[in-house]
Amino acid sequence: MKSEYGLIEYFSRVFKPLDKKLLLGPGDDCAVFDLGGKKALLLTTDEMVEGAHFLMRFSSPELIAAKLVRMNVSDIYSMGAAKPAACLVSSGLNGRLPRGWVERFARALKRESLKFGMSVAGGNLARARELHFSMTVIGFAEKKRIVRRTGASPGDLVYSLGTMGGSRAGLELLVKNLAGGKPGERLKNFFWRPPLFPREARLLSGFATSMLDNSDGLYKSLGLLSGLNGVKVRVELSERFADKALLSWCAETKKDWRKYALAGGEDYGLLFTVSPGNERRLKNTVPACYKVGEAEKGKGVFIEGYDGKIEAFEHF
């Protein structure tokens, strides 16, 4: 079988939309369907599978619901000025679940969805040996204010909102059943409840030239940005990339925070580009962002002064 990226590239080509109303098909964070007038419908789906994304021994229905909602809603926000509206949830369940688990999951799903303005509109139940939870979210955006993954040019500056590597470190603690002290708690929280940036995404929709969520780790995400836009991305690593909890946990355990930040995955921060002329505007309107690097002519991702190995995160 092809690699995940090989398959996604293949699918994007095979499914190349034939329908003119489909303004954007596979390959971006969301599909975009033209509703006529100013509005567009956004569609996205994401899934958590037992064994691949979580283990039952460190999960709870409340945590799975929290993450399932965030990982999907993140795709809506990363389209710019966009709002989630409703979701469908498809679950593969089995008899190994403790009594009351499914009911707790349902109540948590409702609660978590409401935090982002969504109702649970429907779903499906299937019998499965391996638990899995798939969500589809619809959202709405003004067509003019949608930011795609494409649109960056050489010379654009690459910025990030949200730190990197925290979720991966949290998962490591969970899998090894380690507490990790106070930073450990915070890292596990990055895994289960990654922070999202709806307000900032809306502000950025005025001038970001491209945007995606950082769900596959910085190195892979920048690889996508580079490939889709035909640019080379030069990265200057800085401790700003990592949350303080990651830095402190890495200092204590003698790990390299840069590996987590580069190869992490499941951080769901926003990666975006702006033209140099808009840097001042960016700093004024979205002060929490920080510079990751620059887009240049060429191709590939170059990490300045980093000669370590990047073991990219593989969901698949």
State the nearest-atom distance from the C-beta of 95 to its own copies, in Å.
6
Helix (H/G/I), strand (E/B), else coil: 253: helix
Q: Which is nearer to its own copies, 92 or 264 (CB)?
A: 92
User: Does residue 22 touch its own copies according to CB under 8 A?
Assistant: yes
Q: Give the one residue of 38, 115, 124, 143 binding its own copies; rule: CB under 8 A.
A: 124
18, 179, 305, 309: which one contacts its own copies (CB under 8 A)? 18
Determine if 187 is a binding residue for its own copies (CB under 8 A). Answer: no
Give the range of 116-124, 165-173, 259-267, 295-303 binding its own copies by CB under 8 A: 116-124
Q: Residue 223 has which token pair?
A: 């690889």
Tracing tokens 């926000």 back to the chain, one arrives at 77
Q: Are 132 and 91 in contact (CB under 8 A)?
A: yes
Among 55, 128, 175, 251, binds its own copies (CB under 8 A): 128
User: Which one-letter amino acid corresponds to residue 275?
Assistant: S
104 makes contact with its own copies (CB under 8 A): no
Instruction: Tell me: does residue 107 bind its own copies (CB under 8 A).
Output: yes
d(CA 267, CA 178): 20
Q: Residues with Cβ < 8 Å from 159, sequence gap 6 or more?
A: 271, 272, 273, 274, 282, 289, 290, 291, 292
DSSP 100-165: THHHHHHHHHHHHHHHTT-EEEEEEEEE-SS-EEEEEEEEEEEEEEE--S----TTPEEEEES-SS
Query: Cβ closer to its own copies: 200 or 267?
Result: 267
Q: Choose one: 13-21, 148-156, 171-179, 226-234; the region binding its own copies (CB under 8 A).
A: 13-21
Count of residues that interact with its own copies, criterion CB under 8 A: 68
The 3-class secondary structure across 185-196, one letter per residue, is: HHHHHHHHCCCC
Among 58, 62, 83, 132, contact with its own copies (rule: CB under 8 A): 132
The answer for 218, left when phi > 0, alpha when psi is -120 to 50, beta otherwise, is alpha
110 touching its own copies, by CB under 8 A: yes
* For its own copies, the closer CB: 115 or 244: 115
Q: Does 178 participate in binding its own copies (rule CB under 8 A)?
A: no
Closest CA to 209 of 161, 279, 275: 275
Question: x/- string (CB under 8 A) for its own copies, residues 66-95?
Answer: -------------------xx-x-x-xx-x
Residue 40 · residue 32 · CB < 8 Å: yes
Q: At what angle do helices 181-192 and 244-253 cross, to 10 degrees?
A: 130
- Distance of closest approach, residue 120 Cβ to its own copies, in angstroms: 4
Decide if residue 248 touches its own copies (CB under 8 A): no
Burial 298-308 (b: 16+ CB within 10 A, else e): eeebebeebee
Residues that bind its own copies (CB under 8 A): 1-2, 4, 7-8, 10-11, 14-15, 17-19, 21-22, 25-26, 30-31, 33, 35, 41, 43-49, 51-53, 85-86, 88, 90, 92-93, 95, 97, 99, 101-103, 106-107, 109-110, 114, 118-130, 132, 134, 136, 138, 314-316
